[in-house]
Amino acid sequence: MDKKNLIYPVLVCFVVVALSGCGTAQKKRQDEITGIKTKVETLESRVEGVEMKQAEADRIAAERSQMSEEFRAEPASTNFEVKQRFDKSKTNIKEVQSALKNAGYYEGKIDGIKGKGTKKAIKAFQKANGLNADGIVGNKTWEALGKYAGSGSSGDTVK
């Protein structure tokens, strides 16, 4: 019977230790939780920093936009005119082709592509109007060609 009496206390001790867990496991778990909390705090502070930078960037963008609107709203009054350079976009090539067609120098399709026919028509127009016949629509060529541009063109804005 001594063995039976000895088995119960040993079994009870084993169950108590198993249920309470090892002391080092609890400390290890607590250290992991502390580490995770530290990482979360670090990330939260980084997010706050990024949010502050974003808010500052938004504020600066709003100020620039407002300044830009104010600048556009109040044009300076001067006694001279700034000429804009001719833009070689497809829209403007179409305008050139249309103006050349209206002037009688271009017979091709108005497609916005500056091909051989368009360049030949530009040179012929330049030669007929006393301009340098280089096939390039610069400011002087556009000024001379602009009067042939259709009513839907922006020829009066490109000078």
**Contact 90/77 with Cβ under 8 angstroms?**
no
Of 1.10.101.10, 3.90.1150.10, 3.20.20.70, 1.20.120.1810, which CATH number belongs to 90-148?
A: 1.10.101.10
Could you tell me the two tokens for 110? 């108005």
Contacts of 144 (CB under 8 A, 6+ apart): 125, 129, 131
> Would you write out the chain's pLDDT as a tens digit for each of its 159 residues?
566 677 877 888 777 777 766 667 778 888 999 999 999 999 998 988 888 888 888 888 888 877 776 666 555 544 444 444 455 555 588 889 999 999 999 998 888 888 899 999 999 999 999 999 898 888 888 889 888 987 444 433 332
One-letter amino acid at 66 equals: Q
What phi, psi does 79 have (nearest 5°)? -100, 20
User: Which sequence spans correspond to the domains of the chain?
Assistant: 2-73, 90-148
Whose tokens are 């700034």? That residue is 82
**Contact 99/151 with Cβ under 8 angstroms?**
no
Can you tell me the distance from the alpha carbon of 152 to that of 70, in angstroms, rounded to the nearest whole number?
29
